[in-house]
Structure 1
């Protein structure tokens, strides 16, 4: 079956999930590429480092996931039925070690095979990416049964950024030697219990991680069940006031402006999926918007408006940013354009695109500025955010 970006389906339609499955990954390009399989829990966290399988740790504890290199191709041998219930999802990633970005690649392929027969095939090229250095290629996850999602998107950073995103920590040389010893034991079918010291290492919980996204970068998220995603608008300069706004685009084309500063804005969508916390004028407090996944919503564009009393001055100079909190994951999009016009009053920081699968999102950093002196809001043309095409805000 030929898969394309964004497709999801049951694995059982194409392969037998109770039998061994082989995954083949390959990128043709001029950089050095690292491949990894993250075994994460129901919260999307690498709560057990032993289930990060890659060139430096080539097998999981009981050999349910095995890594091997064949020429320019990397292969993972999977036994899904043997995975512990604590492993809710397998995330297959590729990252660049050194220079280059994913837009420079010639081809990226992902295949799932069984008994030599191809069951699922995903093909991509550099045209599918921008400045990413690390991508999530495919996710294999539990939802009643094993399913597959062709994610094919990522963010800047490499293997360290992937570790930060999934709550893992980079191995020390001592830990690396321990993991290699375990991997060798797996390949010989003679698994020995890891030492108490090693067990303590892999069970350490990492601290919350912050990811900073720059214009053109994006990252895929899976929301913590039952916990809203919180969007905050902050700034470093004293005595300033910025209004946080959101434009909600529904899959049927309907648009709703969410905000607290203008008379024609709503504090929440009718379905309650996007809620503004209200206008904030007290120093030190941040305006915020809470969002939850809804099947009818396609995306939410997040912007900040500079209040009239701020006068002129760039968003960058005043240190304005948007922070997105997804459980203990924090994504920050700063205003970085030093050449932005001092009379640009609206900055669209980015867009949160709702996935078709429940509780899945993709965050994209846009950093788009309004025309000088424009009071018109942002808008959408099709599925693209466009500045200055929306109506002017009505004063209260």
Structure 2
């Protein structure tokens, strides 16, 4: 009997199956410090217990993307260990604040399967849910992954492509957020004078700053989230890929872009939903990441007079500053673009 886990191949998945992922993870203030050291986020709510409690939280919650990475990392050994590429995200909802000391678990449901025409690979669609120690859902999202087949001739019993919402509805945002005191939100301490009403649909913001990715940093991040994907940490195996070296975990890019967005969106204090996301091109150690954002919508939230939401499209690039807002060029993306992320962020009114 095989004692080791080679990971699932496409033909190993079944529509409707539920996968309970291993290794519960208690996230501590040590993880917060390391996350801050890796990405440098400066959002006041997640940085200061005093600031967060004055605003209405019990104390400083975990960065939303730290929660995402921990929940995501649980899924890798069962879903994407044999992945060719992580293709996209949808229907992401951050359901309640998570505080240091909480233990996170993850369960996934296979909601779609579609074999590729070459029969070498197939796309696996899953809905993953992160829960706390009490079993309450803290995060839910869908993603789809291109996974290798073990046997190209293997017959796939059932296939389906799920219909996913193009965006999370505003009324689904901030459902479990505590009542907050917008008047107590100190703009000076937060580092930005701009509230919800200061942003307009169509506005584009160059976040100006850049961050060069070092080999050690993305390796530490991958291990911090217990992400076991070979393409991220096995340099020897990566020599046989078409890139010839390790790829940087896509979530690493998302966190870098989010941290860079502070310059221009300093009061977008929490990510509430992920509408869509695409890793457009790979990133490697030595590349420098820049980002810009476009305001797609400004939304009032039902029953909330304390906060509203900005729907943002954040585009990250490599080795090209964003003053010219590199975007789609013809039928494809500008060669510099590495991430295209559509999400909702909460902001005080």
Q: TM-score, normalised by structure 1?
A: 0.22
For the pair shown, which has the larger CA radius of gyration, 1 or 2?
1
TM-score (norm 2): 0.24
The structure with more strand, counted as a fraction of residues: 1
